[in-house]
Amino acid sequence: MEQLPTIHTDIKKVSGSQITAANDVLAVEEPLEIKLAYCDARGAQLKNISVTMRTPGCDEELALGFLYTEGIIQSPAEVSAVTAPKENAVTITLKEGMAPAINNLERNFYTTSSCGVCGKASIDAINTICTPANDYPYDGLTVNNELLCSLPGLLRSRQSVFDQTGGIHACALFDATGNLLLLREDVGRHNALDKLIGAALRQELLPLYKHILLLSGRASFELVQKAAMAGIRIVAAVGAPSSLAASLAEDRNMTLIGFLRGDRFNIYSGEQRIVI
């Protein structure tokens, strides 16, 4: 049975001294267990990789995107099957001879804002598994300010689950002329981006060095890290970036935009790609 991204619930609305019965729509939040099946010298292995709280939908893309942005797989060619053996679970099976970079899971230690690890250590951990910033075959992407300022409206007009719930994150992928290519929503901002990158991976669009990523909220270190893994050169956020996100964007030669609202925005790094 397909899991829905929203549910209806009975509530009481208070307005001044008046209380009335009403019905509200909530974004569903459920755990998703991601497992990896592969063979090594010990034989067949089935490893629990992660349990993440997410909004149901695009679960296979989420699992693929997570494995890619964590550096565990490098290409969809490594994958032989993606299955959902039960509700709230996805298993990704690698082709024979493919060895996952399981040790890269240790990098998760650096990705929480409360970990207390210094910024340089966090960025160094990312750099061990990212493609070098100057190794992409093309870095001529530029975007003018008018096009950039038009993107939040395009994202907002397509946020179907947000329209119902008002409580969900979104990210969108645009080409250099402002065409919306992909959009994903989730209660977790990192899940929304993993879903988007997983979809791009399936469509063989990676690396995304000719594209623009728009985030509906703030730009955290983890989101910039995932964008860097996918080769994205321009990241724009409606909200604020964190200090470590800005440091990583600078280190990776990425353009980072924050507070993209109306006709205004801040450039935190990579101003050479913005044409005024």
pLDDT single digits (tens) 212-240: 999 999 999 989 999 999 999 999 999 99
Position 166 scores a pLDDT of: 59
Give pLDDT < 70 ranges for the chain: 1, 103-138, 161-167
Q: pTM for this one?
A: 0.85
In a domain, residue 38? The reply is no
Position 14 scores a pLDDT of: 72
DSSP letter at 255 equals E
In a domain, residue 32? The reply is no
In a domain, residue 186? The reply is yes
Position 110 scores a pLDDT of: 41
What is the four-CA torsion angle of 109, 115, 120, 124, rounded to 10 degrees? 10
Q: What is the number of structural domains in the chain?
A: 1
Position 39 scores a pLDDT of: 92
Position 167 scores a pLDDT of: 65
CATH of the domain at 174: 3.40.140.10
In a domain, residue 59? The reply is no
**Is 115 a catalytic site residue?**
yes
Q: Which structural domain, as residue segments, surrounds residue 167?
A: 143-275
In a domain, residue 240? The reply is yes
In a domain, residue 134? The reply is no
CA angle 248, 254, 258 (to 5 degrees): 80
CA angle 140, 141, 147 (to 5 degrees): 150
Q: Are 131 and 231 a contacting pair, CB within 8 Å? A: yes
- CA distance between the termini of the chain: 50
Catalytic hit among 39, 58, 115, 118 = 115
